[in-house]
């Protein structure tokens, strides 16, 4: 199965999201999953010598289960109609390298997404201490060309965080609760023969951002 057939499976799943359909098409799911894992392995092969976070992982450990967790949200469909990939630079804390593919809904990126309060506190302390470095990272040509800057955060504060002055020189950055770069990809870009080149460009462009946040979170772990 190639990537086009993988997309076809995900579209069929979206249109027939039920246990009965999945039971009848379990072999198609297993084939699609194997195709996705092979794609992730190709990403590892390309990047593990350039980005340390990609070392020491198995593709199977970087994907989400296709079953939705409906315990707290029973309105969710039984199955996710997308395949994902994600690596946390600092285990269980972030920042992340992320990729998800689904017909008409493909995206790639990274950063810190909705960190827990303790981690967000450390991120803000890093911004307070050296926000100029973070600003230089998100304003760098490679990051701007691929991501267009930090993604809008619908949960960001309307005023300064507690303990920070309203005229802080990096107030715009301190107000974020998620600091991420996200790029929407077309199906054609994912299906293209040079898709791994696109992934490489995406992750190398966001590596300085992830390294900045990892340093802040690791300082927390060692404090």
Specify the higher pLDDT residue, 162 or 220.
Answer: 162
Per-residue confidence (pLDDT) for residue 157, from 0 to 100? 96
Statement: residue 100 has pLDDT above 60: yes
- Among 75, 88, 89, which Cα is nearest to 17's? 75
In percent, the amount of the chain with pLDDT more than 70 equals 98
Contact assessment for residue 90 and residue 221, using Cβ atoms and an 8 Å cutoff = yes
- pLDDT tens per residue across span 204-219: 999 999 999 999 998 7
Statement: residue 40 has pLDDT above 70: yes
Rounded to 10 degrees, the C-alpha dihedral 158/122/208/160 comes to: 20
Per-residue confidence (pLDDT) for residue 1, from 0 to 100? 65
- Among 41, 46, 78, which Cα is nearest to 62's? 41
Per-residue confidence (pLDDT) for residue 160, from 0 to 100? 95
Statement: residue 220 has pLDDT above 60: no
Q: What is the pTM of this model?
A: 0.93
- pLDDT tens per residue across span 24-37: 999 999 999 999 99
Average pLDDT of span 137-152 = 98
């Amino acid at each position: 199965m190639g990537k086009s057939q993988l997309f076809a499976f995900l579209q069929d799943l979206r249109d027939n999201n039920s246990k009965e359909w999945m039971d009848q098409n379990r072999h198609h799911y297993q084939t699609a999953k194997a195709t996705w894992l092979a794609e992730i392995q190709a990403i590892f092969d390309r990047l593990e010598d350039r980005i340390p976070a990609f070392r020491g992982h198995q593709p199977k450990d970087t994907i989400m289960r296709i079953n939705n967790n409906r315990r707290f949200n029973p309105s969710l469909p039984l199955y996710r109609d997308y395949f994902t990939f994600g690596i946390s630079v600092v285990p269980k804390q972030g920042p992340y390298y992320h990729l998800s593919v689904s017909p008409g809904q493909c995206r790639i990126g990274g950063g810190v997404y909705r960190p827990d309060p303790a981690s967000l506190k450390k991120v803000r302390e890093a911004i307070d201490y050296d926000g100029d470095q973070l600003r230089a990272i998100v304003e760098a040509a490679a990051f701007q060309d691929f991501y267009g800057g930090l993604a809008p955060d619908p949960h960001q504060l309307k005023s300064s965080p507690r303990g920070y002055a309203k005229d802080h020189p990096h107030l715009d950055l301190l107000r974020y609760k998620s600091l991420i770069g996200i790029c929407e990809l077309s199906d054609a870009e994912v299906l293209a023969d040079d898709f791994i080149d696109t992934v490489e460009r995406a992750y190398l462009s966001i590596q300085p951002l992830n390294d900045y946040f990892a340093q802040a979170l690791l300082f927390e772990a060692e404090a």
